[in-house]
Copies of this chain bind each other. A is one copy, B any other.
Amino acid sequence: MDRSQRTLIAKLKEHSRLADEDIAEICTLTHNVRELASGEDFIRQGEKPKVAALVLQGMVARYHLLANGRRQYLSFHMAGDLPDSQGLFIERMDHSVCAIGPAMLATIPHKDLVLSFDRRPEFAFAIWRETLIDASIFRQAVSNLGSRPVIPRMAHLFCELFYRARASRLTTGNSFVVPISLTQLGEALGMSIATVNRTLLALRNSGTMDFRNSLLNVNDWPALVKTCDFDPMYLHLKRAPRWDD
């Protein structure tokens, strides 16, 4: 069992039950490693996806490029995530995937995955569930953009990132490395960079969280959760991460 197989198994176990046979099946999957420079695209809107990507290190993001040149970030992904699982059964990518900070990915051919799906339907269902959770995260983004003022909107994004990172054991204490620039935050949350900055200041002054120099610090988790009414149910994890370890 190599690193990427271990990462994938750990990820799927966060929400699905895997039989020994499923794990054995995953261990037959081979992959290539691809390193991305900060900002580099992994796949672009319009291209035909042929491989699935698994994040091994760093952070990547999905984004749309609009006709007017604007960029809209759709979701952010960390180690264990499958940032282009959404391209599995689809002819052409309707969005792009790029690195946020330097990142390392494992790529697995779709062909191999589908063969495994035929052999182990439960494995397919686990990946399917993964794509459904992705969709649930998109739905939250819709509500976040459509219904929340800037401060809770920003808080919700960081709540989600921190909670997911914590569930995957990627945090250190109350900190998590998030190499997103202010500009990119604005392009994710539909805010101007000025507002992004003022909103981060407000959150800092409230004593709930502090995002600076690519480092997120959660100072008062319950208060932060309350600012945005964050309810992690939508992440559909089997068990909540513990806060006392």
Contacts and interface: CB of A to CB of B under 8 A. Distances in A.
B236 A91 contact: yes
A232 to B, nearest CB: 10
A90 B145 contact: no
Nearest to A46: B233
A129 interface: yes
A190 B95 CA distance: 23
Number of copies of this kind of chain in the complex: 2
Contact of A92 (B125, B131, B233): B233
Contacts of A21: none
A73 to B, nearest CB: 8
Contacts of A138: 135, 138-139, 141-142
A88 B132 contact: yes
A115 B238 CA distance: 24
Contacts of A236: 90-92, 94
Interface of A: 46, 62, 64, 66-68, 70, 72, 74, 86, 88-92, 94-95, 114, 117-118, 121, 124-125, 128-129, 131-136, 138-143, 145-148, 187-190, 229, 231, 233-234, 236
